[in-house]
Structure 1
Amino acid sequence: MKERAGIQSVEVGFALLRALGDAAGPVMLRDLAKAAGMSAAKAHRYLVSFQRLRLVVQDAASTRYDLGPAALQLGLASLARLDAVKLARERAAALMEEIGHTIALAVWGNHGPTIVHWEESASAVTVNLRLGDVMPLLTSATGRCFAAYAPQEAIAPMLKEEMARALKQQRSDVPRTMAQVRALLEDVRKRGMARVVDTLLPGIVGFCAPVFDSDGHVALGIVALGPTGTFDPEWGGAVDRPLKACAAQLSRDLGHRAE
């Protein structure tokens, strides 16, 4: 496909706005120009125009530049129109092709983490999961992922109910105390990913990566699952890495800035 003609100066000037957006705070002209890959004189000419448009402001005392109110208005308008699930659905098929296993999307519903989209691999094994299913917090990768970032006081009753059920069923693969639950969820936060092997379904491995919105809340979880014989269950492996990368990019696209 032939590339359409554009206005090069607009694309060049945008490098300054992007550099300001990536910066931790107001920036000196020389540092801003360096980050944008241009001379200070050239950067200054662009910044004068951006100031007139209120895309950029300059502090009179420090002479440092920062994003202005017009940039904020544009950013807020963009965030208001973002649909996390829509963005994730658009990328689910490509991710499924990359890892070769089924991909699902989950959001927090009225009763817990709920499956809202299913992208099934051609080589997928049959699993007894459907759209609308609510996933358990302790025995599913999806549930552990959401539980790790949810307010603990809000999910405490659900956790206690699941622990009691696991104790009654004499399951040894589920935490039996709140201390064990806290340790499990801390590990999820440390790794940035939840994983279960033969826990929710026999012979099935599941990963779930969180996608964060601009406020730092979990907008959705991206789930990958497959049979233990062909699914790479290792941290940093063939499933973990692309799944984590996809979730991180989605988070950035939703306005999340990792600390």
Structure 2
Amino acid sequence: MTVDSESSPGGRPQKVQSAEVAVGVLKALAELAPSTSLSRLAEHTGMPASKVHRYLQALVDSGFAEQSPLTLHYALGRSALQVGLAALSQLDVLKVSAPHLINLRDELNETCFLAVWGNKGPAVVYVEQSLGAVTLVTQIGSVLPLLSSSTGLVFQSFLSAAETAALRDTEAQTLNTQQLKDIDRHITEIRSTGVHQIQGLLMAGVNAVSSPVFAMGNTLAGVVTVVGSASVLTGERQTRAAQRLKATAHAISQRMGGEMPLG
């Protein structure tokens, strides 16, 4: 990645300074995801648009950024995604959870995934797809709603109110009083049982079961979820999936030095 040379105060090497600026622009692209305009990016970084544009062009050339030909907005590119996934692979919760989710998928033959809390809410970081003829596609990088998904409701149940307040307030604006009461009821149940079963909440015809994973200090590290077709993952099969998922979440938590704080 090459950018125009700029003066370097205090005798700092220009390449070092340029790299720091490029990283700053890259971080801004992540913070303004999924996409943003040049003017918004310049405002966010506090740099002139002309300067930001030079670095954006270098990032685009190297695959770390991309520009939509329709909107002309900028977004993270494939190279940035590869780096992000490599970093995620180093997360303890992902490394510890992966073999457990593989075993759970093989046992239940349903899609299993792990989500962690990101800057946009619950983000899917690992997926084991069902081996059956019909699979439910859950993609790595997908961001799930907080109040209208089983995964999101578990995050809402165990994260601090301060961490979820902004997203909760935004999503709550689209819900009526009864729906908000139902959500509070779900949260009470999740906190007392450590598992959440739901039918068709996020998507009609799709049932889900979710359970929290805790790390040392009983901090929420992620949420593991099983999803399946409502015609299959229902009744006794869903109840069994909930029991096995809760046991799996408990095993992962133990391995990470955490414990589920029920009550």
Shorter-chain TM-score range: 0.5 to 0.7
Return 5+ residue gaps in structure 1 as ranges: 1-80, 168-173
Q: Does 1:241 align with 2:243?
A: yes
Structure 1 residue aligned with 2:213: 211
Structure 2 residue corresponding to 1:151, chosen from 157, 160, 165: 160
**What amino acid is the match of 1:247?**
A
Structure 2 residue aligned with 1:232: 234
Structure 1 residue aligned with 2:93: 84
Mapping of residues 1-259 of structure 1, within 5 Å: 83-123=92-132, 125-127=134-136, 129-167=138-176, 176-177=179-180, 180-233=182-235, 237-257=239-259
Mapped contact 1:102–1:226 kept (Cα < 8 A): yes
Instruction: Supply the RMSD in Å over aligned alpha carbons.
Output: 2.4
Mapped contact 2:115–2:123 kept (Cα < 8 A): yes
**What amino acid is the match of 1:108?**
W
TM-score by length of 1: 0.60
1: CA distance, partners of 2:187 / 2:91: 29
Return 5+ residue gaps in structure 2 as ranges: 1-89
1: CA distance, partners of 2:118 / 2:245: 22
Question: How many residue pairs end up in the alignment?
Answer: 172
The alpha carbon displacement at 1:251 in A equals 0.7
Runs of 4+ in structure 1 deviating by more than 6 angstroms, as ranges, are none
The alpha carbon displacement at 1:245 in A equals 0.5
Seq. identity, %:
27
Structure 2 residue aligned with 1:69: none
Distance 1:228 1:91, change over 3 A: same
Distance 1:160 1:125, change over 3 A: farther
TM-score by length of 2: 0.59
The alpha carbon displacement at 1:124 in A equals 6.0
- Find the structure with the greater CA-based Rg: 1
